[in-house]
Amino acid sequence: MAKVLFIVANNWFQDTEFWVTYKTLTAQGHECKIASWKWWYCMGVFWKEIEESLKLDEVSASDYDLLVFVWWGWAENQYFNNETYLWLATEAKAVAAICIAPTILSYSWIFQWKEVTWWDDWQKTQISQIEKNWGIFKYEECVQDWKIITANWPEAATKFAWRIVDFLKN
Contact 164/68 with Cβ under 8 angstroms? yes
Helices within the chain (DSSP H only): 15-27, 76-79, 83-91, 101-105, 125-132, 157-169
Contact 8/37 with Cβ under 8 angstroms? no
- Is the pTM value of this prediction over 0.75? yes
| pLDDT by position in tens, the chain (length 170) | 999 999 987 776 788 899 999 999 999 999 999 988 876 666 665 556 676 678 888 999 999 999 999 976 656 667 888 899 999 999 999 999 999 899 999 999 999 999 999 888 888 888 888 899 999 999 899 999 999 999 998 999 999 999 999 999 97
Give the distance from CA 122 to its chain's centroid: 21
pLDDT of residue 75: 61
User: For the chain, what is the radius of gyration of the CA atoms?
Assistant: 14
| Sequence-distant (≥ 6) Cβ neighbours of residue 108 within 8 angstroms | 86, 87, 89, 90
Closest by alpha carbon to 44, among 15, 71, 68, 21? Answer: 15
| Sequence-distant (≥ 6) Cβ neighbours of residue 50 within 8 angstroms | 8, 18, 34, 41, 42, 44
| Adjacency order of strands within the sheet including 11-13 | 11-13, 41-44, 49-51
pLDDT of residue 46: 54
Q: 38, exposed or middle or buried, with CB in 10 Å at 0-12, 13-18, 19+?
A: exposed
Q: Number of H helices and number of E strands within the chain?
A: 6, 12
